[in-house]
């Protein structure tokens, strides 16, 4: 995939040949709907292209072009959608997220800091969770847990994690779980430690850490990486089929609110995949969901079920997921150079740690994906984990070939220039997480990475300079599945304090839009049916109140999704 951009340009050019001003080249007969009267941005090209009208029939785009020609397909039953100056775009495609977990975010106590919540100090976290507890007695009784999501010690006044003793203020009867915004750490109360079987005698699991009280082995309630699983397993084991379905419904509602018509399940379990299949058969999915089961935990499932190129009632298994490290904001990502300020109790040369300590295991997982022709997407936040992934992909490519696999590095936040060179040579697509520049830009500059490395997180321009495509994502529930915040961060890279985190890595609004439309479709092997407003593609659409290309870039986050349309049917309307 060394000539990705050239290939994609040819692909879009061929596709655009079907976008003719002559309706006779496409649909004949009466159309279901015609959209007109606003900026219709097709995303089908290297620069902005507009059309006067888009015609939809039977869930697909049948015409894109001039209004007089579109009207030739109008009949008595055709619905005329006058945009009234609003902007029509292809539906947004989730390049990496966790829809099922987004349902947990939507239903748990909201511990996020401003501007997404009120969790700005530990007292507020306790108060918010107590309020939630009073409203959700039935949920607590059913699951046996009190759950809050989204606290971030980087934004708490105390600049530290809450402890088990503090969470005991919520309950001593029920276990309490506060999941960190990154999803890579958690805090539990004393009862949570008890039901999870974590004591002073419990060793740190491979790829994880149980934080201890100073001067002792007693756990303080804070869990990192794989240590979180002990608490999460106890909770998730209480979620039945109806509970899983409720989480997926809540996740779909959250995604569609922000203009997404396609969602990713970025680290699926076999239970969650089976839930999606059951809901698919029942017609309960109203957007496309493509899943990547965890290759470590789900290898048997993948060998039995494999991948599907096509959706069945809005669901398919697209490949496998591998995770090699943690979170830079939580200081668990695996770096080649030390963190600027190490976590409490850690030495000055602390660099984080790998999720999979033995490189041979990493190589075996990647080789398994290549051998079975499964697309693999791999979580690499730190450049040390990126080194191991690049090495493993190179070895697997040499053994099994590397023809159009569209291998993905998820996050790729701290990839170096030399690593981008290797990624281009191997056809590894970076899926960046530029939202970090807003949410944690100041934290990375001052605490985790230092200014030089912080200003290069999610190096979009460096990728473009190498003629590489990239995608952008929200990693929900780490952040809300907010496409406009994704665009805003990719274009502006402005932190909470107003600092521009890497001014030389800012890209245009059009490039940012491609990262969640055309390029995201390509990453998912779905470019023939999604990503641009082109004849023959699905009528996946989003309507915004203004055109992102015609406003001050700093105002992009103030845009509003007015309507989200999946295959011609409205799935969200403001």
Distance CA 312, CA 236 (A): 27
Q: Tens of pLDDT along 234-283?
A: 776 777 888 899 999 999 999 999 999 999 999 999 999 999 999 999 99
Q: Is the pLDDT of residue 334 over 70?
A: yes
CATH number at residue 546: 2.30.40.10
Do 133 and 78 belong together in one domain? no
Q: Give yes or no: residues 196 and 227 share one domain.
A: yes
Q: Do 180 and 74 fall into the same domain? A: no
Q: Is the pTM of this model over 0.85?
A: yes
**Tens digit of pLDDT for each residue in 414-469?**
999 999 999 999 999 999 999 999 999 999 999 999 999 999 999 999 999 999 99
Rg (C-alpha) for the chain, rounded Å, is: 23
Indicate if the pLDDT at residue 197 is higher than 50. Answer: yes
Q: Which of 236, 265, 285 is the last residue of a domain?
A: 236
Q: Please state the rounded mean pLDDT for residues 525-553.
A: 98
Distance CA 115, CA 122 (A): 17
Q: What HEC string does 461-481 produce? A: HHHHHCCCCCEECCCCCCCCC
| Among candidate residues 186, 203, 236, the one where a domain is terminated | 236
> Do residues 107 and 68 share a domain?
no
Shared-domain flag, residues 126 and 53: no
For residues 206 and 121, membership in a common domain is answered with yes
Q: Roughly how many angstroms between the first and final C-alpha of the chain, as a whole number?
A: 40
- Mean pLDDT over all residues of the chain? 93
Residue 47 and residue 10 share a domain: yes
Within a domain: residue 127? yes
Residue 376 has pLDDT above 80, yes or no: yes
pLDDT on residue 27: 56
Instruction: Decide if 543 is inside a domain.
Output: yes
* Proportion of the chain above pLDDT 90, given as a percent: 87
The CATH number that applies at residue 115 is: 3.10.310.70
Co-location of 135 and 51 in the same domain? no
- Domain around 176: 99-236
Angle of the 241-257 helix axis to the 99-107 helix axis, nearest 10:
90
Residues 77, 120, single domain; the answer is no
> Predicted confidence band at 110 (pLDDT cuts at 50, 70, 90)?
very high
511, pLDDT greater than 70: yes
Question: What is the number of domains present in the chain?
Answer: 2
Q: Which of 187, 217, 236 is the last residue of a domain?
A: 236
- pLDDT of 101 above 60: yes
């Amino acid at each position: 995939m060394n000539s990705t951009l050239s290939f994609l340009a040819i692909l879009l050019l061929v596709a655009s040949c079907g976008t003719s001003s002559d309706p006779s080249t496409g649909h004949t007969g009466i159309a279901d709907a015609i959209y007109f009267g606003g900026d219709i941005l097709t995303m089908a090209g290297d620069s902005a292209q507009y059309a006067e009208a888009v015609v939809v029939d039977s869930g697909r785009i049948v015409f894109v072009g001039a209004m007089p020609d579109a009207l030739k397909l109008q009949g008595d039953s055709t619905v005329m959608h006058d945009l009234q100056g609003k902007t029509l775009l292809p539906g947004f495609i989730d390049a990496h997220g966790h829809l099922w977990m987004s349902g947990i975010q939507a239903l748990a106590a909201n511990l996020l800091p401003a501007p997404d919540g009120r969790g700005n100090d530990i007292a507020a976290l306790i108060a918010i969770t107590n309020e939630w507890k009073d409203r959700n007695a039935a949920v607590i009784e059913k699951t046996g847990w009190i759950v809050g999501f989204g606290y971030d010690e980087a934004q708490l006044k105390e600049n530290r994690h809450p402890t088990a003793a503090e969470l005991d203020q919520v309950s001593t009867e029920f276990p309490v779980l506060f999941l960190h915004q990154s999803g890579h750490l958690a805090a539990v109360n004393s009862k949570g430690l008890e039901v999870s079987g974590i004591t002073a005698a419990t060793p740190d699991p491979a790829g994880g850490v149980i934080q201890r009280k100073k001067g002792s082995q007693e756990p303080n309630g804070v869990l990192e990486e794989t240590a979180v699983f002990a608490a999460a397993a106890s909770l998730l084991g209480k979620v039945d089929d109806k509970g899983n379905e409720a989480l997926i419904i809540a996740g779909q509602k959250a995604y569609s609110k922000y203009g997404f018509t396609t969602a990713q399940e970025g680290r699926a379990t076999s239970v969650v995949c089976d839930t999606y299949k059951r809901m698919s058969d029942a017609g309960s999915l109203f957007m496309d969901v493509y899943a990547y089961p965890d290759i470590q935990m789900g290898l048997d499932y993948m060998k039995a079920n494999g991948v599907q190129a096509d959706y069945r009632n809005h669901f398919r298994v697209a490949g496998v997921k591998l995770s090699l490290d943690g979170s830079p904001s939580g200081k668990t990502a695996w770096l080649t150079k030390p963190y600027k300020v190490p976590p409490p109790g850690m030495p000055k040369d602390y660099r984080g740690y790998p999720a999979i300590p033995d490189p041979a295991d990493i190589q075996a997982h990647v080789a398994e994906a290549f051998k079975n022709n499964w697309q693999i997407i791999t979580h690499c936040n730190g450049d040390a984990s990126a080194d191991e992934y690049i090495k493993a992909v190179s070895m697997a490519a040499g053994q099994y070939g590397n023809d159009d696999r569209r291998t993905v590095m998820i996050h790729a936040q701290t990839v170096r220039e030399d690593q981008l060179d290797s990624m281009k040579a191997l056809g590894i697509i970076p899926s960046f997480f530029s939202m970090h520049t807003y949410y944690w830009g100041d934290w990375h500059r001052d605490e985790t990475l230092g200014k030089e490395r912080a200003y290069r997180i999610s190096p979009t321009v460096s990728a473009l300079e190498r003629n590489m495509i990239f995608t952008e994502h929200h990693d929900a529930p780490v952040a809300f599945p907010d496409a406009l915040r994704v665009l805003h961060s990719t274009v502006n890279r402005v932190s909470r304090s107003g600092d521009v985190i890497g001014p030389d890595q800012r890209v245009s609004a059009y490039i940012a839009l491609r990262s969640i439309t055309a390029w995201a479709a390509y990453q998912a092997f779905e470019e023939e049916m999604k990503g641009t407003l082109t004849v023959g593609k699905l009528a996946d659409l989003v309507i915004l109140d203004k055109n992102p290309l015609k406003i001050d870039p700093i105002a992009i986050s103030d845009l509003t999704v007015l309507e989200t349309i999946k295959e011609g049917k409205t799935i969200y309307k403001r």
